Structure 1
Amino acid sequence: MKLQECIDFATEHPVCSLATVDGDQPRVRAFLLWRATENGFYFETVNPKDVYEQLKANPKVEICFFNNESDLEKAKTMRLSGEVEFLDDPDLKKQLLQEWPFLQDAEPILELFRIQSGEAFFWTMADFLKEKEIERIRF
């Protein structure tokens, strides 16, 4: 498997679950992928949120993308883990705001981040009890 398959899957199924830790307590919430390229998987948040503080305190995350297939034979997830890198890039923020104008009012507190390197793998019901055998894609 190749990184491009991960990029395509995430782009086609941008709603995902992002897991962080808050002290010793796991936290998970729905997130929306902004962009995925060979340079990483890009997201946004705002700095008053708890998730921002959690990511700053511990940048290690795991994200789960799901194809939302009701037929379990076709259901597929992609798990991606890595470390968050916050981006201070005015041009990139401008692109985000052009593509997602609903965030315009949040611009002063908007934070961009990406996972540039890590590991991903796909899982289906056919992989039940075989998780450790599944090929990992390093990026």
Structure 2
Amino acid sequence: MEKTCEFLKKAGTYYLATADGAQPRVRPFGTAHIFEGRLYIQTGASKKVSQEMHVNPRIEICAYTGDEWMRIEAVAVRDGRIEAQASMLDAYPMLKSMYAAGDGNSEVWYLSDATATIYSFTKGAAYTEKF
């Protein structure tokens, strides 16, 4: 999970895919944070992406950096604890202008049953991490 988090942070922007009924939806994201041994992402409860994850928590993430790219298949699990929200906001202080721990809008989700695979355009072998 640490290598996956490092890769997402290095990429800066990654793309999160959800399902809206039969329609796939993809959006840019930028948070990746390890808290209590789990990899977390953050969004707002008022956003459609949150509503979609509540209905169908199966997500995919894709990120690219240099000559490597990563795909993550996971189940997103909402963590409603204020401590988890505060930890994410401390890791990404620029979000504090939009969110506050316990504000009813800030949501953090950890990735469960995840498989992250790093592929290379120049190297033959792929690296896979499960968490």
What are the within-5 Å matches in structure 2 for residues 2-81 of structure 1? Answer: 3-36=1-34, 39-67=37-65, 69=66, 75-81=67-73
Cα distance in structure 1, aligned partners of 2:21 and 2:99: 32
Alpha-carbon contact 1:10-1:36 (below 8 Å) kept? no
1:95 correspondence with 2:87: yes
Question: Could you tell me which residue of structure 1 aligns to residue 113 of structure 2?
Answer: 117
Percent pairwise identity: 23
Q: What's the secondary structure of 1:33's corresponding residue?
A: coil
User: Over aligned residue pairs, what C-alpha RMSD do you find?
Assistant: 2.4
What amino acid is aligned across from residue 53 of structure 2 in structure 1? Answer: L
TM-score (norm 2): 0.81
How far off is 1:135 after superposition? 5.0
CA separation in 1, counterparts of 2:77 and 2:62? 18
**Residues 6-29 of structure 1: CA deviation (Å, up to 9, x unaligned):** 232123223100001111111101
Which whole-Å deviations, capped at 9, do the CAs of 1:79-130 have from their partners, x for residues lacking one?
1111000001111222333442223369331111110331011112247xx8
Aligned residue pair count: 127
3-state SS of the aligned residue for 2:54? helix
TM-score, normalization by structure 1:
0.77
The structure with the largest helix share of the pair is 1
Note the residue ranges of structure 1 that are not aligned, 5 or more in a row: 70-74
